[in-house]
Amino acid sequence: QQQVKQSPQSLIVQKGGISIINCAYENTAFDYFPWYQQFPGKGPALLIAIRPDVSEKKEGRFTISFNKSAKQFSLHIMDSQPGDSATYFCAASKNQAGTALIFGKGTTLSVSS
Amino acid sequence: EAGVAQSPRYKIIEKRQSVAFWCNPISGHATLYWYQQILGQGPKLLIQFQNNGVVDDSQLPKDRFSAERLKGVDSTLKIQPAKLEDSAVYLCASSRGGAQYFGPGTRLLVL
């Protein structure tokens, strides 16, 4: 049973544009929602994370928006750059309970110059 | 601070052979995870350790996969015998109770 659904599967954005990736979860016990960035041949790297007591978190050009009632969260990449071209994964866990991450299937982002 | 180390980076074996992967977590991280990432998918947990004890191995195919973390630091994941469907990247991650940090992974190809 897939507990974290991610869309779109792939995304093409012009340089300077906004990239938006969406995720939906099912388990209301999840309390930690990170986003990871993965380049080919590398391990996933933590980008930004949010807990359900806030609706938005911003770090540089990256913003997570969180909608607890809809059980959805999204990643916005402002001023997208060619160097942002990578695969992005959303994930969720019951962090207080120390459980492992449940990942979405990933979104391949390509930023064209 | 050094990151999560994994070796080997690549491994090619034939089906029914055995293979072992090694992981050294970030210093001081008590929790260690092994994930399997099949091409085009997100990582999926195989096993989670807290110090040298197993917390969750519910998704580990125990008839062929085994893992240990004897001294609560580094860990070894073994597959014996390997099947074609085991071709994947095996990722190790560690945490100190919060964010999880991943190593570069071991890319396994089973022929």
Give the largest Cα separation in chain B, rounded.
38
- Distance from the Cα of B104 to chain A's closest Cα (Å) equals 4
What pLDDT, on a 0 to 100 scale, did the predictor assign at position B93?
97
Chain B residues in contact with A89 by the CB 8 A cut-off are 42-43
pLDDT confidence band for A35 (50 / 70 / 90): very high
- Distance from the Cα of B63 to chain A's closest Cα (Å) equals 22
d(CA A43, CA B107) in angstroms, rounded, equals 11
Nearest one of A1, A11, A2 to A74, comparing CA atoms = A11
A36-49: per-residue pLDDT in tens? 999 999 999 999 99
Which of A28-42, A95-109, B87-101 is predicted least confidently? A95-109
Among all residues of chain A, which has the CA nearest to that of B48? A100
**Cβ of B102 and A99 within 8 Å?**
no
Chain A residues in contact with B99 by the CB 8 A cut-off are 34, 46, 49
- Distance from the Cα of A108 to chain B's closest Cα (Å) equals 9
- Distance from the Cα of B97 to chain A's closest Cα (Å) equals 6
38-77 of A, contacting B, C-beta below 8 A = 41-46, 49
pLDDT confidence band for A19 (50 / 70 / 90): very high
d(CA B59, CA A70) in angstroms, rounded, equals 29
**Cβ of A36 and B102 within 8 Å?**
yes
Residues 6+ apart with CB under 8 A from A58: A64
What pLDDT, on a 0 to 100 scale, did the predictor assign at position A99?
83
B5-59: per-residue pLDDT in tens? 999 999 999 999 999 999 999 999 999 999 999 999 999 999 999 998 999 999 9
Q: Does A34 touch chain B (CB under 8 A)?
A: yes
B53-107: per-residue pLDDT in tens? 999 999 999 999 999 998 889 999 999 999 999 999 999 999 987 899 999 999 9
